[in-house]
């Protein structure tokens, strides 16, 4: 007579939702709470006190929705990794911009989910990152190969940077790009259309021969060699 053995119970993945967008945060809490393999251990918006809150909740995965927070001077992603090695960070609602994507990878982000992703794709990204895998759109995977092949980018000297004229509007754009904002976030901050922001960025890229937005941020930095 065959003996049927039940499968061992799998512990749900503890997840913390760190989202500036309240509607997105609440929607994700509702959707992910329905999944048997996910346990929401906390949620909130970014604040100076949020890091201790996350560490106290002891998640395996942190879901974050803001590029500006991930790449700000507070370096929340790096601080999370330093305080809890092995924690997985999944960025949701992202643009398909190579420069921003590569900067986030350098910070330690393992999951990158675009703005048009479904709830099921967000759920799967969390599961994959929790399993030790990395997740990114196929359209951006080639950027990783290019970066691995050419990790060093030769930047102009400071004297060259200072000789590049920017309009007052472009100077505003550069500062926001340096803060890690996407084109969509910049457009909202400056009350411009996203296409207008893209046009400004394209003109700056063409002027200096830069490959991406991240290079622009470094190029026009007031600091550096």
Residues 102, 71: Cα–Cα separation, whole Å:
11
Residues 170, 175: Cα–Cα separation, whole Å:
9
Q: Do domains 13-148 and 158-219 have the same CATH topology?
A: no
- Does the pTM surpass 0.85? The reply is no
**Phi–psi pair at 117, nearest 5 degrees:** -70, 150
Q: Among 49-58, 154-163, 194-203, where is mean pLDDT lowest?
A: 154-163
Write out the two tokens for 78. 């790096």
Secondary structure (3-state) at 49: coil
Write out the two tokens for 154. 């030769």
CATH 3.40.50.2300 fits 13-148, yes or no: yes
**pLDDT for 35-86, tens place per residue?**
999 999 999 888 878 889 999 999 999 999 877 677 765 678 888 989 998 9
Indicate the domain borders of the chain: 13-148, 158-219
Secondary structure (3-state) at 207: helix
Q: Tokens 């803060």 appear where?
A: 179
Percent of the chain at pLDDT > 70 equals 77
Q: Which of 123, 124, 94 is nearest to 109 (CA)?
A: 94
Domain 158-219 class, CATH top level: mainly alpha
């Amino acid at each position: 007579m065959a003996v049927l053995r039940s499968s061992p119970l799998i512990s749900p993945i503890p997840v913390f939702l760190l989202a500036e967008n309240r509607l997105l945060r609440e929607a994700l809490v509702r959707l992910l709470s329905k999944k048997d393999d996910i346990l929401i251990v906390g949620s909130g918006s970014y604040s100076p006190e949020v890091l201790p809150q996350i560490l106290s909740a002891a998640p395996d995965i942190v879901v974050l929705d803001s590029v500006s927070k991930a790449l700000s001077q507070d370096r929340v992603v790096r601080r999370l990794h330093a305080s809890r090695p092995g924690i997985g960070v999944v960025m949701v609602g992202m643009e398909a911009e190579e420069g921003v994507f590569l900067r986030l990878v350098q910070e330690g982000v393992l999951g990158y989910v675009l703005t048009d992703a479904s709830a099921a794709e967000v759920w799967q990204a969390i599961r994959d990152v929790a399993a030790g895998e990395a997740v990114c759109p196929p359209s951006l995977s080639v950027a990783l190969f290019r970066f691995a092949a050419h990790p060093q980018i030769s930047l102009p000297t400071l004297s060259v940077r200072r000789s590049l004229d920017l309009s007052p509007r472009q100077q505003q754009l550069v500062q926001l790009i340096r803060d890690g904002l996407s084109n969509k976030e910049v457009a909202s901050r400056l009350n411009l259309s996203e296409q207008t922001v893209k046009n400004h960025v394209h003109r700056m890229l063409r002027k200096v021969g830069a490959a991406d937005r991240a290079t622009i941020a470094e190029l026009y930095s007031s600091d550096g060699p």
